[in-house]
Structure 1
Amino acid sequence: MNAIAPRGRMFFANPGPTNIPDSIQHAIARPSIDFNDAAFFAMYEKCVAGLKRLLKTEQHLFLYTASGHGAWEASMANLFSAGDTLLVIETGHFSESWGKMGRALGLNIETVAADWTRGVDFAALRAALAADTGHRIKGVCAVQNETATGVMLPLPEVRAALDATNHPALFLSDTISSLGCLPFEMDAWGIDCVVGGSQKGLMLPTGMSFTGVSNKALEAHKSSTIPKHYFDWTEMGGRRHKSFVGTVPTSLFYGLEESLRLIEEETLEGVLARHTRLAKAVRAAVRHWAGNGDGVTLFCQNAERASDSVTAILVPEGHDADRVRATARNSFNVSLGAGLNKLAGRVFRIGHLGDLNEPMILGTLASVEMALKLNGVPHRPGGVAAAMESLTA
């Protein structure tokens, strides 16, 4: 006999894709339109201007019908040539994946190693840059928010390391799970190429990504020899939309227009403050569950690097994080994120980014606490009350 599915609306607490607001879904659900139609093009330009405001840049923007991985590939293929060396700052699964992609494109990938629970030691980054007296390193890749671990990387310190060593490498940043969730300033922080995606803080379906590109990076693009066509910025630059070698995903732009409206209605400052408030509540619950150290714990052990987008929760040895997730999903209609890479089965993740509020977070935490109890995972009861205390402090 098939199990009866839980009733009511799902509490979607994944770290991406995220909840899509009703108004965005309604905006997307419209008839097709010619992407060269004057009315669409005016809206398109409005969206590009809005994205630039969110990125805090006055430089260049290229968009793609692709997930964030497509924008990753675009960033590397447009800026470098086979044999070039890139320095990737280790953060977790996604920094490893970006480096793996670079190797597939013929790049030489070096890594600044880091403890996944704490984040990189910037002295090690400065040492690696200072040792490169011949400027063999052409780019430094940084994932601002590591979705797999719940540890964020302070990008101004990466820029400071480049400046302190007078290193000319291009500075690339992944903002896929941080844009619209954590502070970000492309121009002020001297970032040369920014990778972003639609399905996280922008609250859209998966399928659109983009790169913010500095003037310095666009100049470097001219000498890149990695083969490309769909992602080629030169090819895009000759088209009316300055993006999209092919059909423009018109429906997603109507959703993006509404997404930007919602963010600016709340104000970006208000959006970031809400993310911080909800993240602190989640961490307060997990710290309470940890009890005297024999219960579930925060995977991130560096409070200054804790992510406001996602919290990774480590279960004690001998317990299975995926069973906790399955119970939350099958019994309470709560969807949690899985552990990735070497954290598979060891952690589950609560996403607190995008379209979320206090009742949604509290409902998620209550369901997680019940799932912990049903699976016999050690924890101190009362995490929801700790979260409520945080929210009303």
Structure 2
Amino acid sequence: MLNLDFHPSGRHFLQIPGPSPVPDRILRAMSLPTIDHRGPEFGALGLELLGKVKRVFKTDNPVVIYPASGTGAWEAALVNTLSPGDRVLMYETGHFATLWQKMALRLGLEPEFIGLPGYEGWRCGVQAEMIQARLAEDGEHAIKAVCVVHNETSTGVTSDIAAVRRAIDAAGHPALLLVDTISGLASADYRHDEWGVDVTISGSQKGLMLPPGISFNAVSDKAIAASREARLPKSFWAWDEVLEANTTGYWPYTPSTNLLYGLNEALDMLLDEGLDNVFARHRRWAAGVRSAVEAWGLEVQCRDPAVYSPVLTGVVVPEGVDADAVRRTIYERFDLSLGTGLGKAKGRMFRIGHLGDCNDLTLIATLGGCEAGLKLAGVELSGSGVQAALEYFAAHPRNAAQ
């Protein structure tokens, strides 16, 4: 039986880069009685939230909502637009880009994985010129889609999606653009229509501040047209039946009713605050956390300040120090959960999430736990990251940032 009393008194600090802490307002919405998902009240709810979710993706086109994880939305994006044996150009930015590439292989596609070599390639964003050069070589247009990750959760790097679109256009290539913004949506600026994205993939448990269990495909007209010719097997993931049912606010199968209550509440919270204010808030938190890392004398995983993630910060520990051991010490001593290093970054770094139900004091406490844990692990620090973050937040008050 699950022991739900494994945390000591006080609040557990969940500072992984998703699932993020869920605001009480959303939890209360989810606790409402479940209603008939074929009844009129549900249809009204469906139409309301389907309209509002488009504003978060910044699209006038449909957003398909699944009762699934982000991994399901990856699969939905591929199977709705591609056919067996299709060639797909995928860019390696980190662990999640790698997992998406493995999925493409398992589905019978032929992914070509490009990127900068080795671990250092996981410290940079997408190099759009590499995509342009590869597509320019594909005179027969054998490549049917380009797949990139917007905010790579394993590294803390946010890539320039508008630059990727410009690269595809400059190459004069008709490939679809598929983008994973599972951890970026509602925390980092994202523009499905303006950036010419054909399928945007996201999930509920990051910037949308919900528990896991809902995922999304925002789809362009070009993607919908491609879905009519795509021959990869699909049933549950098929867009056509969902889009048809959505016209009246329903789904062709049982949806996650209570999670949709929470989604509707989350959308209200985000839209009431204003998306530009939401993005500014996350940028400010990220800058405060990076000021702490700099004060410690440690490196941020992302090497390029132009693509620092507003969602999480990867902290690289000195050579010879096991980042996972540091993270375990912090968890055991201070009841603080941090993200582990994944794939090529395993043991080299830990990740601090700054999203969801969070504020300045949450992050100050988080940095205090990190600082104490690093010292307990014998890591020599140049100075106090907590003090640096306090000074940053004081010098950059929230109202001034927004």
TM-score band w.r.t. shorter chain: over 0.9
* Aligned equivalents of 1:184, 1:133: Cα separation in 2: 31
Q: Name the CA shift for 1:83/1:4 in 2 (closer, same or farther; >3 Å).
A: closer
* Aligned equivalents of 1:4, 1:338: Cα separation in 2: 20
* Partner amino acid, structure 1, of 2:281: R
* Partner amino acid, structure 1, of 2:374: L
Query: Which of 159, 170, 176 in structure 1 is aligned with 2:165?
Result: 159
Query: Which of 377, 380, 387 in structure 2 is aligned with 1:378?
Result: 380
Aligned length: 386
**Following TM superposition, by how much is the alpha carbon of 1:323 offset from its aligned partner in structure 2, in angstroms?**
1.6
**Aligned ranges for residues 149-188 of structure 1 at < 5 Å?**
149-188=155-194
Q: Which residue of 1 aligns with 2:279?
A: 272
Q: Name the CA shift for 1:243/1:116 in 2 (closer, same or farther; >3 Å).
A: farther
Contact 1:6 1:332 (8 Å CA) reproduced: no
* Aligned equivalents of 1:121, 1:56: Cα separation in 2: 24
Contact 1:5 1:330 (8 Å CA) reproduced: no
**Following TM superposition, by how much is the alpha carbon of 1:316 offset from its aligned partner in structure 2, in angstroms?**
1.2
* Aligned equivalents of 1:369, 1:43: Cα separation in 2: 45
Identity of aligned residues (%): 44
**Aligned ranges for residues 98-117 of structure 1 at < 5 Å?**
98-114=100-116, 115-117=121-123
1:220 correspondence with 2:226? yes
Secondary structure at 2:134 match in 1: helix
Q: Which residue of 1 aligns with 2:300?
A: 298
**Following TM superposition, by how much is the alpha carbon of 1:163 offset from its aligned partner in structure 2, in angstroms?**
1.1
**Following TM superposition, by how much is the alpha carbon of 1:122 offset from its aligned partner in structure 2, in angstroms?**
2.4
**Aligned ranges for residues 124-273 of structure 1 at < 5 Å?**
124-239=130-245, 244-273=251-280
Secondary structure at 1:350 match in 2: strand
1:67-114 Cα offsets, whole Å, 9 max, x none, are 000000000000000110111111100111111101100000012212
Contact 2:37 2:250 (8 Å CA) reproduced: no
Secondary structure at 2:339 match in 1: strand
User: Which TM-score applies when normalising by structure 1?
Assistant: 0.95
Q: Which residue of 2 aligns with 1:33?
A: 35
Contact 2:47 2:249 (8 Å CA) reproduced: no
User: Which TM-score applies when normalising by structure 2?
Assistant: 0.93
**Following TM superposition, by how much is the alpha carbon of 1:392 offset from its aligned partner in structure 2, in angstroms?**
2.2
**Following TM superposition, by how much is the alpha carbon of 1:136 offset from its aligned partner in structure 2, in angstroms?**
0.8
* Partner amino acid, structure 1, of 2:258: S
Secondary structure at 1:69 match in 2: helix
* Aligned equivalents of 1:281, 1:342: Cα separation in 2: 26
Contact 2:42 2:250 (8 Å CA) reproduced: no
Secondary structure at 1:338 match in 2: coil
**Following TM superposition, by how much is the alpha carbon of 1:243 offset from its aligned partner in structure 2, in angstroms?**
7.1
Contact 1:24 1:258 (8 Å CA) reproduced: yes
**Following TM superposition, by how much is the alpha carbon of 1:4 offset from its aligned partner in structure 2, in angstroms?**
8.7
Q: Name the CA shift for 1:5/1:69 in 2 (closer, same or farther; >3 Å).
A: closer
1:309 correspondence with 2:311? yes
* Aligned equivalents of 2:51, 2:245: Cα separation in 1: 18
Q: Name the CA shift for 1:15/1:316 in 2 (closer, same or farther; >3 Å).
A: same
* Aligned equivalents of 1:360, 1:353: Cα separation in 2: 10
Contact 2:46 2:249 (8 Å CA) reproduced: no
1:291-345 Cα offsets, whole Å, 9 max, x none, are xxxxx32111111111110111111121111122112211111111111112122
Contact 1:313 1:349 (8 Å CA) reproduced: yes
Point out the more displaced range, 193-202 or 337-346. 337-346
Contact 1:64 1:244 (8 Å CA) reproduced: no
Point out the more displaced range, 323-332 or 83-92. 323-332
* Aligned equivalents of 1:286, 1:237: Cα separation in 2: 46
1:288 correspondence with 2:290? no
**Following TM superposition, by how much is the alpha carbon of 1:157 offset from its aligned partner in structure 2, in angstroms?**
0.2
* Aligned equivalents of 1:23, 1:4: Cα separation in 2: 25
* Partner amino acid, structure 2, of 1:297: E
* Aligned equivalents of 1:205, 1:280: Cα separation in 2: 26
Query: Which of 78, 81, 104 in structure 2 is aligned with 1:79?
Result: 81
* Aligned equivalents of 1:235, 1:245: Cα separation in 2: 6
Contact 1:117 1:151 (8 Å CA) reproduced: yes
* Partner amino acid, structure 1, of 2:276: E
Q: Which runs of 5+ in 1 are unaligned?
A: 291-295
Q: Which runs of 5+ in 2 are unaligned?
A: 396-402
**Following TM superposition, by how much is the alpha carbon of 1:236 offset from its aligned partner in structure 2, in angstroms?**
2.4
Query: Which of 38, 56, 59 in structure 1 is aligned with 2:58?
Result: 56
* Aligned equivalents of 1:120, 1:56: Cα separation in 2: 22
1:182-235 Cα offsets, whole Å, 9 max, x none, are 111111111000101000000001001010000010000011111111001123
* Aligned equivalents of 1:7, 1:379: Cα separation in 2: 29
